[in-house]
Structure 1
Amino acid sequence: MKNGEKNWMVLYTRSRWEKKVDQLLKDQNFNSFCPLVKTNRQWVDRNKVVEVPLFRSYLFVQANHQEQSRIMQTSGVVNFISHCGKPATINDTEIERIKLIVKQYTDIEAISLENINIGDSVKVINGPLLNHKGEIAQVQGRSVVMVIDNINCALTVKINRKELSHTNQLLFS
């Protein structure tokens, strides 16, 4: 990454601070993105639809090398997620894909990959993820777990098995 070039980086935040950190970064004129999904929460006296972060304790920020120290000073920021000793970067295409998934699908959740073994390589042949190639970690009914590199998470998207075909290529190649 060149010093002046802005890249999407992954931030690790304090627990339950994702939306707050996102707003604090936007208040500082940073381009940040905290993917939110609507979910039904049940309390003893009522049910309510609330927006919760798709990735717990993670959010994305677009910044250059000089801006990283200013971002680290933001309340609620724990650290940048690193890969090979440098902040992990996500390309614009993947950020747009996450935005599209959050917009198009209603039943989405992120799950940790720590205990999941990667399986078949597939290609999506229909829908908003058309031609998207990935490795499937799990298939149960219509639920497909697809791996996203660099953030140690996966997206669970309700997609029909008929919309997948086998391939030998890896995710985000």
Structure 2
Amino acid sequence: MTEHKSFWFAARTKNNQVLTTRTVLEKLNIEYYLPTQFTVRILRDRRRNVEVPMIQNLIFVHATKQRACDIVNNCYVRLYYMRDFCTHQMLVVPDKQMEDFMLVMNLMPDKVCFENKQLTLGAPVQIIKGELCGIEGEVASMGNHTYVVIRMQGVLSASIRVPRSYLRLLIKSEINNIK
């Protein structure tokens, strides 16, 4: 890894501490991504709009490797970086996968379903129409529906339902960090 280049690192937090961790990262001016949504909860006989994370105990940190380590070691933030199974290094999410994931989560968060296990994946595709134009992933089918799966190796898979006519099959030379 280049010492001065920033990467996206996937990190776990203690149970129910992801929002607190987010606040600490904001105070330290660390770039992060945490998909959240507002839900109505009844607290003490009152209905309240409460912000909840869409993925429990998972946050993405954008920093250099040294800065990411300093957050944990020197600032005492309780983050547990995920590791790549092959290299045993901190897991780095490629920029293209992270951009695609953030775009899908910002545009259509209610239509995304998450999988930690591998889905039956097919050919690499690119969405060529609609709000998600440019997103690359792999095609999967469940029932009579077509989904595009965006995988973050070792972290999670996010899938979104897309009409088949919106997809274009990618050839080998066009594939950008899909696998």
TM-score category of the 2 structures, normalised to the smaller one = 0.7 to 0.9
Residues 107, 158 of structure 1: 8 Å contact kept: no
Q: Specify whether residues 151 and 22 from structure 1 end up closer, same or farther in structure 2 by C-alpha distance, changes over 3 A only.
A: farther
Q: Distance in 2 between matches of 1:95 and 1:102?
A: 10
| Partner of residue 124, structure 1 | 127
TM (norm. structure 1) is 0.76
Q: Number of residue pairs matched?
A: 171
- In structure 1, the gaps of 5 or more residues are none
* Residue 152 of structure 1 pairs with residue 150 of structure 2: no
Q: Distance in 2 between matches of 1:133 and 1:90?
A: 15
Residues 100, 135 of structure 2: 8 Å contact kept: no
| Partner of residue 71, structure 2 | 71
1:48-127 matches, within 5 Å, as: 50-73=50-73, 74-77=76-79, 79-83=80-84, 84-114=87-117, 116-127=119-130
| Partner of residue 14, structure 2 | 14
Report the identity percentage. Answer: 20
AA aligned to 1:153 is L
SS at match of 1:4: coil
Q: Distance in 1 between matches of 2:46 and 2:144?
A: 30
- In structure 2, the gaps of 5 or more residues are none
| Partner of residue 172, structure 1 | 177
How far off its partner does 1:71 sit?
2.1
